[in-house]
Amino acid sequence: MEFHVYENAQKACEAAAILIAAQITSKSDCILGLATGSTPLPVYEKLVEWYKNGVLDFSDVRSFNLDEYIGIDHKNPLSYHAFMQENLFDHVNIVPENTHVPDGDMTGEEYDASIRAAGGIDIQLLGIGKNGHIGFNEPADAFTYGTHVTDLTQSTIDANSRFFESIDDVPRQAISMGIGSIMEARRVILVATGKDKAEAVYKMMKEPVTPHVPASVLQLHPDCIILVDEAAASLMK
């Protein structure tokens, strides 16, 4: 794993955006694996800025998102479908049919088959949960290979309650790409920012690979780049 520390979140996210932009520039019909959440917002802002400046062209790009809540309509502003529209897809020239976000109406096998049929993910963007989750692969006794429906842990429900009016409104289930689906991406970039993520970053990097810290599996990925700010790197010193 490559590990890079930046002085702040904006710079870590800009580094991630540069890697994605480089991928699009070198292969215009590349397949992006995309994440939602607070962490990648500045990544998407940069990509939109570069598209608006005429530097990036998304017309042949295809994308597959990591995950989506179960039981939330796509039009609900808190859905990951809506998140992607609002923060990226509505602002660039990506073809709507080329964007894919999983949902409870498809099976995990169908989603994985569509990723494979498209040629596989060239570059997968990830955040990390405070409990070490990637996508919604929560800590467990074993890794889950393919896209699957999963119960969210209390730590994730608590973390995501900041977006909802009450904690009772937070969905209890999600559909998520599995660890196998993520590990099949040709390149993985994980962005972690803020001191809340310091422990997860430390465990991902320094502890033995374990499904109890799902991100630790990235130690085995042949092309994985971890981009963090100083706060998220604080336990690494």
Residue among 60 and 171 whose Cβ is closer to ligand F6R: 171
Residue 57 · residue 23 · CB < 8 Å: no
> Which member of 66, 70, 201, 227 binds ligand F6R (CB under 6 A)?
66
Round to whole Å and give the CA distance between 112 and 194: 32
Separation of CA 153 from chain center? 18
Q: Which residues are catalytic?
A: 67, 131, 133, 138
The structure tokens listed for 73 are 């309509």
38 touches ligand F6R by CB under 6 A = yes
What part of residues 155-184 is at the interface with ligand F6R (CB under 6 A)?
A: none
Please report the DSSP string for 18-63 in residue order: HHHHHHHHH-TT-EEEE--SSTTHHHHHHHHHHHHTTS---TT-EE
Judged on CB neighbours under 10 Å (0-12, 13-18, 19+), 59 is exposed
216 touches ligand F6R by CB under 6 A = no
221 touches ligand F6R by CB under 6 A = no
Please report how close the Cβ of residue 54 comes to ligand F6R at its closest, in angstroms.
29
Q: How many residues bind ligand F6R (CB under 6 A)?
A: 14
9 touches ligand F6R by CB under 6 A = no
Helix, coil or strand: residue 194: coil
> Which member of 23, 36, 150, 216 binds ligand F6R (CB under 6 A)?
36
What part of residues 106-145 is at the interface with ligand F6R (CB under 6 A)?
A: 127-129, 133-136
Residue among 35 and 218 whose Cβ is closer to ligand F6R: 35
Interface residues with ligand F6R (CB under 6 A) are 35-39, 66-67, 127-129, 133-136
